[in-house]
Amino acid sequence: MGRSLRGEAAIVGVADAASPTGELDSRGRVLEAAMIREALDDAGLTLADVDGICCSGIATGIAEYLDVHPTFVDGTFVGGSSFEVHVEHAAAAIASGLCDVVVGVYASTPRQDRRLGASPASLGPMGPDVGAEWETPYGPHMPMTSYALAADRHMTQFGTTSEQLAQIAVDARRWAAMNPRARHREPLTIDDVLASPVIASPLHQLDCCLRTDGAGAYVLTSADRARDLRRPPAYVLGAATATDHWVISQMPDLTVTPGAVSGPLAFERAGITTDDVDVLQAYDSFTITALLHLEDLGFCAKGEGGAFVEDGRLGPGGSLPTNTNGGGLSYTHPGQYGIFLLVEAVRQLRGEAGERQVAGAEIAVAHGCGGVLSSTGTVVLGTEATR
Amino acid sequence: MTARREPRPSDESQPFWDATREQRFRLPWCTDCDAAIWYPRTTCPRCTGSAVEWRDDAGGGTVHAASVQHRPGPGRDADDGPYVVVLVDLDAGVRMMSNVVGCPPAAVKAGMRVALAWEPLSDGRHLPVFRLA
């Protein structure tokens, strides 16, 4: 079974906090940050060295708090053994060169919380609820308003138009017309998109993904074993992760997603360029989301996404077939759409996509995006021919 | 008073909210980095130091991005709106979400100068909002 992790990675700094009173004098993020600082001090390292974060939950929150932008995160939660599981995952990641310095952290203060009467919903181990405190009072529709603000900024900075964004929805619909399971298959025009109601300007209802039921799964195994199985393998040629912020008001640049890190890194690991991509599955929670992905993955320059999509090149017969199942905009979107990106990429590489099959698809990219443009994962998949 | 989901202070933001009772706008600053921090944290996200102090701020800023909400968001009255949600780049060097009030919401555009204003909350605190300068 595979190669051993023996001696490949080492724990070089530790810290913990406890008191005979059973109570500490800090909690939440403050306590987590103190532990991280102490453990780094112990190792003779600083936050600037950190490119990986593990915690038993949403790692993006602590990363935002400390303004670090890890390219490896693990939020596996399996109860008290989570941290040992994190070490296994992090050691494998370090051994394979995905990252260099990982910090794992935990803080929980049930005694303080009970004494202070704080409900876990507001001030549990997750720390301050930044969105509830600093965004919700202003009445945004989340997550839509976050993407609307990014779209407004892109329009202001680069002159992107509502018509250009609408073209992305139109092309997704053209693909969906060839997918019998798509939620919406009837033809769509730019005028239809622009005539749909605006809930959070500048986005129209038809700039927004669907809300549907949906489910998916995948199975991953070794290349050796894959060859003996029933279906043609879709090999993982390269993959990368990047994280940036958790709430939109903390996003460093509203026009640049963390895909600008994970995209080029995944392509480099796969040994490909954008020219090699036959079919792209790029998370289209909103039209602006897909447009930002095209720029950040390097298919066009920053700011040029609007002009890039104008000719319908994302649709059937176009030069960059994108979201060929109809995407989150027309196929399905139950909340965390990323698994559908992988499923469609695999079907295209196997030649199983029926009417919507992209001829000769040998390299497919599945590019997921979570939170509010907060984190990205880019996976490059290939066939036997491109492995 | 506009109906809204009112912010619950955290340990780290309590001094901010306390000052809003007398309509004082204070920002946390890292004295080592000489830079403002937003949202309030007692650990500086630049240097991880804890030399953080509260400083009064004039609350001037520039709209970075704007989105008009044509239907009321969570916590707002059903007949509330349209209103505009903005990201404001404060002159102090940090960006926060807010509303621009006292003008037609669609008039608010990125690049416009804004000045601090206050809206009352139900418990005597105030919520920082902005008006066109």
CA A223, A227, A228, A233 dihedral sign is: positive
pLDDT band at A173 (very low <50, low <70, confident <90, very high): very high
Task: With H, G, I as helix, E, B as strand and everything else as coil, classify residue A181.
Answer: coil
Whether A283 sits among the annotated catalytic residues: the reply is: yes
pLDDT value at A105 more than 90: yes
Cis peptide before A110 (omega within 30 of 0): no
Q: Which of A65, A106, A138, A283 is catalytic?
A: A283
> Token pair for residue A182?
């798509």
pLDDT digits (tens, 9 = 90+) for A305-326: 999 999 999 999 999 999 999 9
Contact status of A145 with chain B (Cβ, < 8 Å): yes
pLDDT value at A181 more than 80: yes
Task: With H, G, I as helix, E, B as strand and everything else as coil, classify residue B63.
Answer: strand
pLDDT value at B93 more than 70: yes
- Those of residues 95-134 in A touching chain B at CB distance below 8 A are 122-123, 127-130, 132-134
Residue A54, by phi and psi: left (phi above 0), alpha (psi -120 to 50) or beta? beta
- Residue with structure tokens 């005028």? A191
Q: Residue A204: which residues within 8 A CB-CB, separation 6 or more?
A: A162, A166, A193, A194, A195, A196, A197, A198
Interface predicted TM-score (ipTM) over 0.90:
yes
> Which residues from chain A sit within 8 angstroms of residue B7, using beta carbons?
132-134, 136-137
What global pTM score does this model have? Answer: 0.91
Task: With H, G, I as helix, E, B as strand and everything else as coil, classify residue A361.
Answer: coil
pLDDT band at A118 (very low <50, low <70, confident <90, very high): low
Residue A180, by phi and psi: left (phi above 0), alpha (psi -120 to 50) or beta? alpha
pLDDT band at A123 (very low <50, low <70, confident <90, very high): very low
pLDDT of A1 reads 47
> Which residues from chain A sit within 8 angstroms of residue B45, using beta carbons?
65-67
pLDDT of A174 reads 98
- Those of residues 327-366 in A touching chain B at CB distance below 8 A are none
pLDDT of A126 reads 44
Ranges assigned E (strand) in A123-234: 198-200, 203-204
Q: Give the helix/strand (H/E) hosting A150.
A: helix A144-158
Q: Residue A352: which residues within 8 A CB-CB, separation 6 or more?
A: none
Please state, rounded to an integer, the average pLDDT across all residues of chain B: 95
> Token pair for residue A18?
């406890």
Whether A65 sits among the annotated catalytic residues: the reply is: no
- Residue with structure tokens 């102490």? A38
pLDDT value at B30 more than 80: yes
% of chain B at pLDDT higher than 90: 84
Q: Give the helix/strand (H/E) hosting A369.
A: strand A363-370
Q: Between residues A222 and A241, which one has the greater pLDDT?
A: A241
pLDDT of A18 reads 87
pLDDT band at A124 (very low <50, low <70, confident <90, very high): very low
Kindly give the interhelix angle for A144-158 and A287-296, rounded to the nearest 10 degrees: 60
Contact B64, B89 (CB under 8 A): yes
pLDDT of A262 reads 95
Cis peptide before A187 (omega within 30 of 0): no
The CA-CA-CA angle for residues A289, A292, A294, to 5°, reads 110
> Token pair for residue A289?
């989301």
pLDDT of A2 reads 55
> Token pair for residue A143?
């997550």
- Average pLDDT, stretch A222-232? 89
Q: For residue B67, what are the β-bridge partners?
A: B85
Best mean pLDDT range from A7-21, A220-234, B83-97: B83-97
> Which residues from chain B sit within 8 angstroms of residue A66, using beta carbons?
43, 45, 48
**Checking DSSP bridges between strand B52-56 and strand B26-30, what pairing results, if any?**
antiparallel
- Residue with structure tokens 């509502």? A162
- Those of residues 101-130 in B touching chain A at CB distance below 8 A are 106, 109-111, 127, 129
Q: For residue B127, what are the β-bridge partners?
A: B119
Please state, rounded to an integer, the average pLDDT across all residues of chain A: 92
Ranges assigned E (strand) in A230-306: 235-243, 279-282
